[in-house]
């Protein structure tokens, strides 16, 4: 075998091994990758039930219900265009309340997001960037900005 052909064979084998390694890494990350969606995007797409997702928006006013005796709460997340029903069992963050930005992570079952993690904003002027972007995409940001200013809240950097 000529030296040039030997080098070419070595390079091809190396590229094949690198491709296999990349495929194995992507397969390992596949289960831990969680995509963010707004309620409008969820209604527009058919997501598989077993897919783990993050949903962000505002907790719809009047939608929060707590079960008696249990730590299960139900509420709806809205981007002011669409809503998603959420069920969560556990302790909610102290800052969780209706009309505030929230991100819930979990899986869909029977049209309801069964959340295993709920994150709330950490101060009055903060809006999770994903939520702000989703509101801007849905065209509801100006309405939300006006509502926040009307409630005495001044949007922070995410509002710009």
pLDDT in tens, 20-38: 999 999 888 877 788 888 8
Q: What is the pLDDT of residue 146?
A: 66
pLDDT over 60 at 40, yes or no: yes
What is the mean predicted confidence (pLDDT) over 123-141? 73
For the entire predicted model, the pTM comes to 0.63
Find residue 92's DSSP bridge partners: none
Q: What's the pLDDT band for 154 if we cut at 50, 70, 90?
A: very low
Phi first, then psi: give them for residue 25, nearest 5 degrees. -65, -45
What is the mean predicted confidence (pLDDT) over 124-149? 71
CA distance 53 to 159: 24
Return the number of other C-beta atoms located less than 10 Å from residue 54's C-beta: 18
pLDDT over 90 at 47, yes or no: no
């Amino acid at each position: 075998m000529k030296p040039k052909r030997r080098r070419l064979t070595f390079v091809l084998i190396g590229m094949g091994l690198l491709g296999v390694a990349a495929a194995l890494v992507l397969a390992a990350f596949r289960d831990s990758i969680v995509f963010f969606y707004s309620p409008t995007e969820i209604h527009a797409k058919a997501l598989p039930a077993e897919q783990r997702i993050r949903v962000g928006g505002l907790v719809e006013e009047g939608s929060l219900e707590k079960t008696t005796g249990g730590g299960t709460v139900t509420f709806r997340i809205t981007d002011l265009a669409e809503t998603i029903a959420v069920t969560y069992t556990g302790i909610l963050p102290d800052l969780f309340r209706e009309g505030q930005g929230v991100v819930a992570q979990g899986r869909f079952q029977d049209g309801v997001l069964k959340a295993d993690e709920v994150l709330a904003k950490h101060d009055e002027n903060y809006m999770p960037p994903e939520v702000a972007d989703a509101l801007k995409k849905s065209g509801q940001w100006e309405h939300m900005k006006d509502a926040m200013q009307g409630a005495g809240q001044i949007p922070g950097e995410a509002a710009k």
